[in-house]
Structure 1
Amino acid sequence: MIDFNAIALVFSVYVVGVVIPGPNFVGIAHRAASGTTREALAMVGGTVLVNLFWASCAILGIGVVFATFPWIALAVKIVGASYLIWFGGRLIVNARHAGADSPARGGPGGVARAFRAGIVTNIGNPKAMAFYAAVFSAAAPRHVSLPTFLCMLGVVAVVASLWYGFVAVVFSTPAVAARYRRGKAWIDRVCGAVIVSLGVRQLLVR
Structure 2
Amino acid sequence: MSSLGIFISIISALTIGAMSPGPSFVVVSRIAISRSRFDGLAAALGMGMGGVTFAILALAGLTALLSQFEWLYLVLKIAGGAYLIYIALAIWKGASEPLALSGDVAGKSMPARSFTAALLTQLSNPKAIVVYASIFAALLPKTVPTELLLALPVGVFLVEAGWYAIVALAFSARRPRKVYIAAKVWIDRAAGAVMAGLGLRLILSGLNGK
- How far off its partner does 1:127 sit? 4.3
CA deviation string 1:92-125 (max 9, x = no partner): 122133358xxxx8426x1111111112111112
- Structure 2 equivalent of residue 175 of structure 1: 175
User: Structure 1: how far apart are the matches of 2:136 and 2:4?
Assistant: 16
Taking a change above 3 Å as real, the CA distance of residues 140 and 181 of structure 1, as seen in their structure-2 partners, is farther
Q: Which moved more, 1:152-161 or 1:130-139?
A: 130-139
User: Structure 1: how far apart are the matches of 2:121 and 2:163?
Assistant: 17
- How far off its partner does 1:201 sit? 1.1
Alignment of 1:17-166 (within 5 A): 17-99=17-99, 106-107=107-108, 110-166=110-166
The aligned amino acid for 2:64 is V
- Scaled by the length of structure 1, the TM-score of the pair is 0.89
Q: Are the equivalent residues in 1 in contact too, given 2:55–2:132 (CA < 8 A)?
A: yes
Percent identity, please: 32
User: Structure 2: how far apart are the matches of 1:55 and 1:135?
Assistant: 10
User: Structure 2: how far apart are the matches of 1:137 and 1:92?
Assistant: 39
- Structure 2 equivalent of residue 16 of structure 1: 16
- How far off its partner does 1:59 sit? 1.8
Q: Are the equivalent residues in 1 in contact too, given 2:46–2:118 (CA < 8 A)?
A: yes
Q: Are the equivalent residues in 1 in contact too, given 2:63–2:130 (CA < 8 A)?
A: no
User: Structure 2: how far apart are the matches of 1:65 and 1:116?
Assistant: 26
The aligned amino acid for 1:30 is R
Q: In structure 2, the residue corresponding to 1:168 is in which secondary structure?
A: helix
- Structure 1: tracts of 5 or more residues without a match: none
Taking a change above 3 Å as real, the CA distance of residues 198 and 138 of structure 1, as seen in their structure-2 partners, is farther
How many matched pairs?
200
- How far off its partner does 1:145 sit? 2.1
Q: Are the equivalent residues in 2 in contact too, given 1:95–1:185 (CA < 8 A)?
A: yes
The aligned amino acid for 1:85 is I
User: Structure 2: how far apart are the matches of 1:84 and 1:33?
Assistant: 19
CA deviation string 1:53-80 (max 9, x = no partner): 1111112212111111112211111111
- How far off its partner does 1:136 sit? 4.6
**Alpha carbon RMSD of aligned pairs, Å?**
1.9
CA deviation string 1:116-163 (max 9, x = no partner): 111211111244234234445444444312211111122211111221
- How far off its partner does 1:43 sit? 0.9
Q: Are the equivalent residues in 2 in contact too, given 1:31–1:40 (CA < 8 A)?
A: yes
User: Structure 1: how far apart are the matches of 2:195 and 2:93?
Assistant: 13
- Structure 2: tracts of 5 or more residues without a match: 101-105
- Structure 2 equivalent of residue 192 of structure 1: 192
The aligned amino acid for 1:198 is L
Q: Are the equivalent residues in 2 in contact too, given 1:13–1:139 (CA < 8 A)?
A: no
The aligned amino acid for 1:114 is S
Q: Are the equivalent residues in 1 in contact too, given 2:46–2:119 (CA < 8 A)?
A: yes
Q: Are the equivalent residues in 2 in contact too, given 1:42–1:115 (CA < 8 A)?
A: yes
Taking a change above 3 Å as real, the CA distance of residues 190 and 147 of structure 1, as seen in their structure-2 partners, is same
Q: Are the equivalent residues in 1 in contact too, given 2:91–2:191 (CA < 8 A)?
A: yes
